Amino acid sequence: MKLEMKELEDLAEKLNISKEDLLHEGLKSFLEKKLREIKTDIFKITSKYGVRSVEEFEEKYRKGKVEEKDTWQDLQRLDHLEFKKDELEKALGSL
């Protein structure tokens, strides 16, 4: 769906807020939604292995408590998700 500037201005007027506030709140809501999705995915992985972070996951590897053979993809995914979470939190903090 492509939203034209005129439509954005009309919507802001109908909602009785500025166009800038409408864009700001829309972006904030979008980032918060993405952050919730990522936190949910992180929770699923950390719960599965009984860890709280990539570091704890790696520590379980070192101690031999987790088989690398079947779990390395989850470790990589967790690392990527934690990075994305940090980036989204920074973006939200700068709004």
pLDDT in tens, 4-23: 888 888 888 999 999 899 98
- CA–CA separation, 88 and 35 (whole Å): 6
Over residues 32-65, the pLDDT tens digits come to: 999 999 999 999 999 999 999 999 999 998 898 8
Tokens of 84: 């994305």
Q: Please, are residues 78 and 48 in contact by the beta-carbon 8 Å criterion?
A: no
Q: Which of 44-48, 66-70, 74-78 has the lowest mean pLDDT?
A: 66-70
- CA–CA separation, 84 and 36 (whole Å): 11
- CA–CA separation, 29 and 15 (whole Å): 16
Neighbours of 78 (CB within 10 A): 24
- CA–CA separation, 32 and 91 (whole Å): 10
Confidence of residue 1 (pLDDT cuts 50, 70, 90): low
Of residues 1 and 89, more confidently modeled: 89
- CA–CA separation, 49 and 66 (whole Å): 8
| pTM (2 d.p.) | 0.82
